[in-house]
Chain A
């Protein structure tokens, strides 16, 4: 089976439709929603706040704690069993690693910044959508940040190198590799990189370059959403 054209007609470097909004959860210190196609992620930030149990505290700097969760009804297939799984724990870890390079937590020794990511609906690319939302939520919470982080999956389906694989593409009956990547805006440095499936070196490098280009658009969407929120808040005060 070959894959000459994408199932949903997109170009190889075209993402699904993206929607982003900051400040969607009022109780949280910072929050954001990020939707790409049918994958929908919410992120909320609490903190810096006291860290318990105490033995987890770091006297040199604050720590970042990420909790990634797919809602039980969010998957295309069977119900996702609630509670942490090996998968969700690993994704929480790599998400924290993706965000850490831009955070300045030296000012908050012994404290924690908690990031909660919840996905009500998923169609592949969940960790990337979660990272995009979390980066905005951290900015919205006013956590000292050097830059924004955004993420997208790239990969190969058959012989095509593509961005933003959806579920149908990941499930393509043939050679498929899914390569989630996160990038720090200004340096272009890659802070998350994983790969599942067969891909050769040249395809990988081509995919990473496509991803870096694509993420420029996502950074613009994130910034626009953050500005919109603060514009509205200022508007209220006038």
Chain B
């Protein structure tokens, strides 16, 4: 075991973490809506010093052949080199791709957006929803922060006006996106025999296994395991319970009144 890991685990054995939190504590979570006036919806999310921006752009396009009566959703996360010395410019590496796909799956599989309502003309014309998350500062747990920012930006979004079937960007109606669900991602790290949520960088550098649990109330909509160590079914059960419980606290911060737009 390397030195950092033994220090992290030693602290956890005394029920404390490097930043003074208990294992099951979130850092301070802040959500600010409408941070980019040009996006149809946008939000900034902070988990302590971790900070990400998310924006929604809407456009009109042709539906995918297998879902001719549904709008389309694209979710991308960019690990900006501004946010960590670990990140580099250029095409996304596999870590960034995994992160983006876990965020994407949470929103897609929860059926967060009522895609049928985004159909304008079956097989011909549908709304395309693009969510882009860009990281600003990586102080750990970019995944949960990105998932929350994507959801917050969706909640903030307003449909743009249409004139002769052409999108009038910058001219938003009062109509929100048809949202049904609020999927919340909670990543639980296993370090030695301990579990923590909302990891900081030192914990992300030393964990044995981790599980991202995305839930809507009591129901799971996406899971993703990572890390070199295996997990037992009992550990998975415990982690899913933690995911369901800790998501409730995030939902409270989401429910706060939104900023002016």
Q: Is the CB of A190 within 8 A of B236?
A: yes
Q: Known: A89-B94, A198-B221, A200-B219. Is A191-B230 also a contact (CB below 8 A)? A: yes
Q: Which of these, B94, B216, B228, B233, contacts A208 with CB under 8 Å? A: B233
Complex interface residues of chain A between 65 and 91 (CB less than 8 A to chain B):
77-78, 86-87, 89-90
Min C-beta distance of B224 to chain A, whole Å: 5
Q: Which of these, A77, A194, A198, contacts B224 with CB under 8 Å? A: A194
Q: Is the CB of B225 within 8 A of A194?
A: yes
B176 within 8 A of A: no
Q: Is the CB of B221 within 8 A of A97?
A: no
A195 within 8 A of B: yes
Q: Report the separation of the CA atoms of residues A179 and B224 in the bound assembly, to the nearest whole angstrom.
A: 10
CB-CB < 8 A to B231: which residues of A? 189-190, 193
Residue picked from B98, B224, B230, B231, most chain A C-beta under 10 Å: B230
CB-CB < 8 A to A51: which residues of B? none
For A, the interface residue count at a CB cutoff of 8 angstroms equals: 36
A93 within 8 A of B: yes
User: Which of B137-145, B148-156, B237-245 is the contact stretch?
Assistant: B237-245
Complex interface residues of chain B between 13 and 53 (CB less than 8 A to chain A):
none
Q: Known: A89-B97, A93-B94, A93-B98. Is A196-B230 also a contact (CB below 8 A)? A: no
Give the residue name and chain of the A residue nearest to B76 (CB).
A86
Q: Report the separation of the CA atoms of residues A190 and B190 in the bound assembly, to the nearest whole angstrom.
A: 14
Q: Known: A97-B227, A101-B228, A192-B225. Is A212-B233 also a contact (CB below 8 A)? A: yes
Complex interface residues of chain B between 77 and 112 (CB less than 8 A to chain A):
94, 97-98, 100-101, 105, 109-110
Min C-beta distance of A215 to chain B, whole Å: 12
Give the residue name and chain of the A residue nearest to B216 (CB).
A198
Interface bits B152-165 vs A (CB < 8 Å: 1, else 0):
00000000000000
CB-CB < 8 A to B226: which residues of A? 94, 97
Q: Is the CB of A90 within 8 A of B237?
A: no
A-B contact pairs, 19 of them (CB 8 A): A86-B100, A93-B98, A94-B224, A97-B228, A100-B228, A101-B229, A189-B231, A190-B230, A195-B221, A195-B222, A195-B223, A196-B222, A197-B221, A198-B109, A198-B221, A199-B219, A205-B236, A209-B233, A212-B233
Interface residues, chain A, CB within 8 Å of chain B? 77-78, 86-87, 89-90, 92-94, 97, 100-101, 177, 179, 183-184, 187-201, 204-205, 208-209, 212
